[in-house]
Amino acid sequence: MQQANLGLVGGGTVGGGVFQAIQRNGALVASRLGVRLAVAKVAVRDLAKARAVKVPAAQLTTDWQSVVNDPGVDIVVELMGGTTTARSVVLQALKLGKPVVTANKALLSAHGEELFAAAERAGTNLYYEASVAGGIPIIKVLREGLIGNRITRLYGIVNGTCNYILTRMKREGADFSAVLADAQRLGYAEAEPSLDVDGHDAAHKIGILASLAHGFWVNPKDVHVEGIRDITQQDIQFAGQLGYTIKLLGVVKQAEAVGRAATKANAKITAEKARIQVSVYPCLVPNSHVLASVNDVFNAVYVRGDIVGDTLYYGRGAGQDATASAVLSDLADAALDLKFGTKHRIPPFVPHERAGAVVSMAGVTSRYYVRLAVLDRPGVFAKIAAILARAKIGISSIMQPEGHEGAVVPVILMIHDAPNAAMQKALAQIAQLEVVKGAPVMIRVESFE
């Protein structure tokens, strides 16, 4: 049986998981592929570090170059994370004509175009299924399964840490800070959690999905990002009373309405270009929608194609085993491509819509939930409504929740579709009213239309 020798760069949680998965199911993979996967070397930072997964000392090294440059290594697997040394690892392997498998979403987000171009020049391939949504095969879905569809909508719950925190806040009535501390204790959140809770990890992933879905590489600087730090227990409660659940969503939309509004907000975008919204933000999701039921650390990606209609992909979005499963999928593709000499059978990325552009968030139209803290006196609603009316923003409903007594009380406004820029400007004016105490809270509402 033909054998593909693997060089793993990174022996941490994911690297150990991949090594363990090959030991566990290597024979199964070989029987399905006709190619045996064998780990030749593993590069790690510290040989003395205790590891949950035992790797024979003879296979370990601290020199990643010796792994990549070894002529006996057929496939390089980059699992070290980061965007500096990891970039060097991938570029060197590709330069040598070796296929590379990576789980590094930050690397792809920052340097994807450069790496794909290097793979094309070398006549080899770069595989990255594990970079987005863990064990959910969403990269294959967009590159292969839905290749005959124009993707008109894509929504993703792609950060398990945020989903876990929001789930527990809703389920237990707990505050953000308390749940975050518990998530850190349980290992669901990092000691420095900003990459997750401020939305940046989700932005890396949703940018990759947007690029694949629309055929031009999305610059991470163009992705609008908001996190969940400012979501309060009060907002969770009021959203529930209105029939919604708050989720951190990655949103990719291509629609005429978005395009027209964005063209006015961003003169650089012309009518001929494919215009898409690429954003990450907390969102009110109707309880009747399937994404409202995606809880704890699970991920889900909801994709609408113009031919297939609505599809949903659900599973564990992170963790040792889920990520290892995705890496094994890529290793299977790489091994088969080597076996049959089809190194570029499925290119890592095809820029088929080079004129595409990400719209400015200022022109994106949404519905909104707004929470205000106001003085409990007559005439307050009239002053707020007057500002919204001048901005041509309609109110669909007003709720003053019962059980909140005192000089200052909460008021909830549900707002009809309005451009983001107009909404922000109106809220800034409302915040200046003498009867409004504290900054207004605005959360977008998604109808999935």
Instruction: Judge contact between 71 and 54, C-beta under 8 A.
Output: no
Instruction: Name, in order, each residue with C-beta under 8 angstroms of 334's C-beta and a sequence gap of 6 or more.
Output: 4, 75, 99, 101, 125, 127
Is 383 catalytic? The answer is no
Instruction: Name, in order, each residue with C-beta under 8 angstroms of 126's C-beta and a sequence gap of 6 or more.
Output: 90, 94, 99, 100, 102, 115, 116, 119, 348
Instruction: Name, in order, each residue with C-beta under 8 angstroms of 27's C-beta and a sequence gap of 6 or more.
Output: none
Q: What angle do CA 422, 428, 432 make, to 5 degrees?
A: 145
Report d(CA 138, CA 209) in Å as an integer: 8
One of 41, 205, 247, 253 is an active-site residue; which one?
205
Q: What does the longest C-alpha to C-alpha distance in the chain come to?
A: 83
- CA distances for 347 relative to 107, 125, 246, 298, angstroms: 18, 7, 37, 29
Q: What is the DSSP letter of 144?
A: I
| Strand ranges in 82-210 using DSSP code E only, listed in sequence order | 100-102, 126-127, 151-157
| Residues with catalytic function | 205
